């Protein structure tokens, strides 16, 4: 039995996307123990992953913080990992490789660099869809993959019967109208118009709900939908997963909850502007589709509602 390390720092959407890759790593290392190096916001979530033995927290302090770096590297070395799968593929994880395994190839350190196709540069390879990049990396590292292209995030869910009973939730549509404060380009501005069209068409067939994050609760009242909280606090990730999974439909901006919905097999739509493409981030699934436009401010509520009607029936 050996110890295997996976590196995946986040964000939330990235964690959901990596679920299939993590499962495939487990399936190829059933006699080994899998650990994951991640960040504090995802510690409790990743501890629920049935394929992970334990989580090592990386505070991602400056690489010039030599004391922190020394203790983190010592902790990693003490586990005597026989193989490391770098699913973050960032400048930070490449820096860790230079310290831990500077000359090793994919037999020890699997990353997009150590498995890079000969005919492509790193910049060219990074333009491919993220799940295809994961699949290529794991295949070139000697793994048989069955799940990486179809991540299953259902392991993240917890029982929310009390929350659903409190809000009398049965058939409901979840909306995610927000985004990170520094990524307002991802926000579609016409959710209230869409809500009005849904109410006019479906009357009381569906409840319309939003589940704001901790920093979104104050501005959630700007949306004409029921705000779902747990004891006046934002839902945790596992509660949010269950709310999404049990919904009738999801409409979201390109945020973490949209990626959760895609890999929870929820039915829904995600709205993309020019910041990236749905293909590159591998978000479209059989039940979860994207509307891609050059300018979200010119995407009408009528068009979104039309696509929603076609998909929800």
Q: Residues 6 or more apart from 290 whose CB is under 8 A from it?
A: 269, 270, 271, 272, 278, 283, 284
Q: Identify whether residues 108 and 172 lie together within a single domain.
A: no
How far apart CA 136 and CA 101 sit, in angstroms, is 21
Which of 108, 127, 152 is the last residue before a domain boundary?
A: 152
Q: Residues 6 or more apart from 306 whose CB is under 8 A from it?
A: none
Domain of residue 100 covers 3-152
Number of domains within the chain: 2
DSSP letter for each residue of 15-42: HHHTHHHHHHHHHT-TTSEEEEEE-GGG
Q: How large is the average pLDDT for residues 99-108?
A: 95
Contact in structure between 308 and 191 (CB atoms under 8 Å): no
Beta-carbon neighbour count of residue 118 at 10 Å? Answer: 4
Indicate the pLDDT class of residue 101, thresholds 50, 70 and 90.
very high
Does residue 202 carry a pLDDT above 80? yes
Q: How large is the average pLDDT for residues 212-239?
A: 95
Mean pLDDT computed over every residue of the chain: 95
Indicate the pLDDT class of residue 14, thresholds 50, 70 and 90.
very high
Token reading at 211:
């589940």
How far apart CA 117 and CA 128 sit, in angstroms, is 12
pLDDT, one tens digit per residue, over 232-282 is 999 999 999 999 999 999 999 999 999 999 999 999 999 999 988 999 999
Does residue 313 carry a pLDDT above 90? no
Cis before 11? omega within 30: yes
Residues facing residue 7 across a β-bridge: 37, 86
Q: Identify whether residues 161 and 55 lie together within a single domain.
A: no
How far apart CA 308 and CA 302 sit, in angstroms, is 10
Question: Residue 47's pLDDT is what?
Answer: 96
Q: How large is the average pLDDT for residues 273-296?
A: 94
Q: Identify whether residues 68 and 196 lie together within a single domain.
A: no
Q: Are strands 172-176 and 207-210 parallel, antiparallel or unpaired?
A: parallel
Indicate the pLDDT class of residue 82, thresholds 50, 70 and 90.
very high
Question: Residue 179's pLDDT is what?
Answer: 86
Q: How large is the average pLDDT for residues 28-54?
A: 97
How far apart CA 265 and CA 247 sit, in angstroms, is 11
pLDDT, one tens digit per residue, over 116-167 is 999 999 999 999 999 999 999 999 999 999 999 999 999 999 999 999 999 9
Q: Identify whether residues 148 and 162 lie together within a single domain.
A: no
Q: Identify whether residues 307 and 170 lie together within a single domain.
A: yes
Q: Identify whether residues 143 and 240 lie together within a single domain.
A: no
Question: Residue 43's pLDDT is what?
Answer: 96
- CATH number for the domain that contains residue 148: 3.40.50.2000
Q: Identify whether residues 163 and 297 lie together within a single domain.
A: yes
Beta-carbon neighbour count of residue 274 at 10 Å? Answer: 11
Q: Identify whether residues 131 and 212 lie together within a single domain.
A: no
């Amino acid at each position: 039995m050996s110890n295997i390390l996976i590196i995946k720092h986040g964000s939330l959407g990235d964690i959901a996307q990596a679920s299939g890759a993590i499962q495939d790593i487990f399936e190829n290392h059933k006699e080994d123990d899998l650990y994951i190096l991640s960040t504090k916001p995802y510690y409790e979530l990743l501890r629920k992953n049935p394929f992970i033995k334990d989580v090592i927290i990386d505070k991602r302090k400056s690489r010039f913080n030599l004391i922190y770096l020394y203790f983190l590297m010592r902790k990693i070395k003490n586990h005597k990992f026989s193989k490391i799968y770098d699913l973050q593929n960032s400048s930070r994880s490449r820096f860790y490789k230079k310290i831990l395994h500077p000359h090793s190839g994919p037999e020890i350190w699997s990353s997009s660099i150590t498995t890079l196709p000969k005919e492509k540069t790193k910049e060219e390879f990074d333009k491919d869809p993220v799940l295809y990049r994961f699949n290529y990396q794991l295949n070139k590292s000697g793994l048989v993959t069955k799940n990486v292209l179809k991540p299953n995030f259902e392991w993240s869910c917890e029982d929310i019967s009390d929350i659903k009973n409190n809000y009398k939730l049965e058939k409901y549509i979840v909306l995610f109208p927000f985004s990170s404060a520094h990524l307002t380009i991802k926000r579609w501005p016409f959710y209230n118009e869409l809500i009005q069209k849904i109410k006019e068409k479906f009357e009381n067939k569906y409840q319309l709900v939003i589940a704001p994050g901790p920093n979104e609760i104050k501005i959630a009242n700007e949306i004409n939908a029921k705000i779902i909280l747990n004891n006046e606090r934002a839902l945790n990730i596992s509660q949010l997963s269950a709310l999404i999974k049990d919904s009738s439909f999801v409409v979201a901006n390109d945020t973490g909850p949209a990626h959760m919905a895609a890999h929870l097999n929820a039915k829904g739509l995600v709205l993309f502007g020019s910041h990236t493409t749905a293909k590159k981030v591998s978000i479209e699934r059989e039940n979860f589709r994207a509307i891609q436009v050059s300018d979200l401010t010119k995407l009408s509520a009528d068009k979104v509602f039309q696509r929603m009607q076609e998909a929800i029936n």
